Amino acid sequence: MRFYTKQHKFYCGIDLHAKKMYVCVLDSAGEIVLHRNINTEREIFLAVIEPFRENVVVAVECMFTWYWIADLCAKEAIPFVLGHALYMKAIHGGKAKNDKIDSHKIAVLLKGGMIPMAYTYPAKMRATRDLLRRRNHLMRKRAELYAHIQNTRSQYNLADSFGRIAKPQNREGVAERFEDPAVQNMIATDFAVITAYDPIIAKMERDIISMANHHDPVAYALLKSIPGIGRILGLVILYEIETIKRFPSVQDFVSYCRLVKSIKESNGKRYGSSGKKIGNAHLKWAFSEAAVLFLKGNEPAKRYLNRLTAKHGKGKALSILAHKLGRAAYFMLKNKEPFDQKKFLGL
């Protein structure tokens, strides 16, 4: 975890919400020179901090509302710090909590060099990354509908399988195979929603691929050289990473991807693990998915997994494979080298 340690004349901590923001400004001696609740409007914020613009740094907690103020500070050449929400919760937790107290605590952490920094994702790629996340959200919703249809078949113990209902031509007559009209209606509704999702997701994918052509085609091609990583999965990894240069070491990268467990230790004794939610859930999903797809039609990879399974069990073996793919992706992007399966599997 990195902390912001640069020195400034003024330190501005903001407890940011959708409609209101509590602003606290400290001077270099730690005295409060401004403490005010204002509307979340650009002009009002700039007017409030105008007396301190000569040498001020602004910090907010990493919540869903931070985009606009980060972009505003970048435009106005104001140093900006995005605080890591989970780490900050551990540091400044207390008995009393409100917006006024929180803004002051953020300013104090900022001045003391103790504010844990989250990555301020650049605006030029942020919207496309969020579009990818939205696409994955819709894909999961569609998958839930498929699962519901198959589970309903099991509930009513229909003998014949529905087959691959992901293909539109295999959906014909599926609802009519149930006797109860209410169940038929339910299944027909699921298919209607799936049918509505299909063209929306297809268009999103075309648009995303078109936009992605403007960002680092070399890194994108390197990621797709890994067996099992296709266009969309490669884009998810590419856009969640943004640039591999922001990770000083491979350990930092796999930790950010949630591919390793953190350990709680004191006085030489281990007390389990913690911090499961710290890191990027989308990269965790992407590399876990890549590990499964890596095995498809890949006999050397299957033999490698069998050796891991014999030693660790199937679940942990897949986690080890995902971790190994994450490490491989880091060095591929850092050294600009394509995937080498023989080297990866130690053949």
Please say whether the beta carbons of 103 and 22 come within 8 A.
yes
Three-state SS across the chain? Answer: CCECCCCCCEEEEEEECCCEEEEEEEECCCCEEEEEEEECCHHHHHHHHHHHCCCEEEEEECCCCCHHHHHHHHHCCCCEEEECHHHHHHHCCCCCCCHHHHHHHHHHHHHCCCCEECCCCCHHHHHHHHHHHHHHHHHHHHHHHHHHHHHHHHHCCCCCCCCCCCCHHHCCCCHHHCCCHHHHHHHHHHHHHHHHHHHHHHHHHHHHHHHHCCCCHHHHHHHHCCCCCCHHHHHHHHHHHCCHHHCCCHHHHHHHCCCCCEEEEECCEEEEEECCCCCCHHHHHHHHHHHHHHCCCCHHHHHHHHHHHHHHCHHHHHHHHHHHHHHHHHHHHHHCCCCCHHHHHCC
Tell me, what's the pLDDT at 90?
A: 62
Q: What is the pLDDT of residue 85?
A: 86
Q: How confident is the model at residue 277 (pLDDT cuts 50, 70, 90)?
A: confident
Average pLDDT, the chain: 92
pLDDT at site 128: 92
Q: Average pLDDT, stretch 19-31? A: 96
Indicate the pLDDT class of residue 202, thresholds 50, 70 and 90.
Answer: very high
| Whole-angstrom distance, CA of residue 174 vs CA of residue 37 | 58
Give tens-digit pLDDT for 47-70: 999 999 989 999 999 988 999 999
- Res 79 pLDDT > 80: yes
Strands 80-83 and 56-61: parallel
pLDDT for position 346: 86
**Mean pLDDT, residues 124-136 taken together:** 94
- Please tell me which residue, 163 or 268, carries the higher pLDDT value: 163
